[in-house]
Chains A and B, each alone.
Chain A
Amino acid sequence: QKEVEQNSGPLSVPEGAIASLNCTYSDRGSQSFFWYRQYSGKSPELIMFIYSNGDKEDGRFTAQLNKASQYVSLLIRDSQPSDSATYLCAVNMLIYNQGGKLIFGQGTELSVKP
């Protein structure tokens, strides 16, 4: 079982729709969760982080965390063609004697069609 799992997609949504991106993780002790956006040929860009159960909203983006189910999601409202990118879920895991490090999922490719 992978430590962080995402559906690789591609996920295709029409412009203006809600895009829903999902991620599950294996380490029940993880406390910090991140969503990054990566355009083709570019490095990841931080979109949101979430630490507590529930929803966290920032503009058109909402992150949702359910620690009991080990599940984190990202909703993008009013999707735009410029949102087309690969979205990476990352979980901060504490490694004995090494501190924390981010474990990335394989990413979900999102395509927003005009």
Chain B
Amino acid sequence: GAVVSQHPSRVICKSGTSVKIECRSLDFQATTMFWYRQFPKQSLMLMATSNEGSKATYEQGVEKDKFLINHASLTLSTLTVTSAHPEDSSFYICSASGPRDPDTQYFGPGTRLTVL
């Protein structure tokens, strides 16, 4: 149980384009989903927290107009990186928690974004 998928696993795009990443909870209803970013040799940095049906809460320093988060259902959240630039190249990972154990987060496999 507690399986989270992400799509795509890897994406390469040109500077200035937008990229959408999907995060799905496959076998449980995710009341809360989280989006993290991880640069090489660094730990995970929380970007935003989203609850189904409400606006995401962004961490300090994360531009909400650049990183658009939608959590339209209990099994799907999307992160759209708008007007991507090379400095946005990173490993983006989502996680999800459910009502039975809201403190425990299960991570998706991650999406490696490369912006040329």
Residues in chain A within 8 A of chain B (CB atoms):
31-32, 34, 36, 42-46, 49, 88, 92, 98-102, 104-107
User: In whole angstroms, how far apart are the Cα atoms of A45 and B44 in the complex?
Assistant: 13
A104's partner among B43, B49, B109 (CB-CB below 8 A) is B43
What A residues does B28 contact at CB under 8 A? Answer: none
Tell which of B34, B43, B104, B110 touches A34, judged by Cβ atoms closer than 8 Å. Answer: B104
Q: Is B67 an interface residue (CB 8 A)?
A: no
Residues B107 and A45 in contact, CB atoms below 8 Å apart: yes
- Tell me the B residues contacting A by CB distance below 8 Å: 32, 34, 42-44, 46, 49, 57, 91, 93, 102-110
Q: How far is the CA of A80 from the CA of B44 in the complex (A)?
A: 25
**A43 near B104 (CB under 8 angstroms)?**
no
Question: What CA separation (Å) do A98 and B109 show in the bound complex?
Answer: 26
A63 and B91 CA atoms in complex are apart in Å by 28
A53 to B79, CA, bound (A): 37
> Smallest distance from the beta carbon of B1 to chain A beta carbons, Å?
12
Which A-chain residue is minimally distant from B44 (CB atoms)? A104
Q: Which residues of B contact A88 (CB under 8 A)?
A: 43-44
Task: Tell me, in angstroms, the Cα distance from A107 to B34 when the chains sit together.
Answer: 19
Q: Which residues from chain B contact A44 at a C-beta distance below 8 Å?
A: 44, 93, 107
Query: Contact check: which of B32, B46, B93, B103 meets A43 at CB < 8 Å?
Result: B93
Question: Which chain B positions have C-beta within 8 A of A49?
Answer: 103-104
- Chain B CB within 10 Å, residue with most, of A45, A98, A100: A100
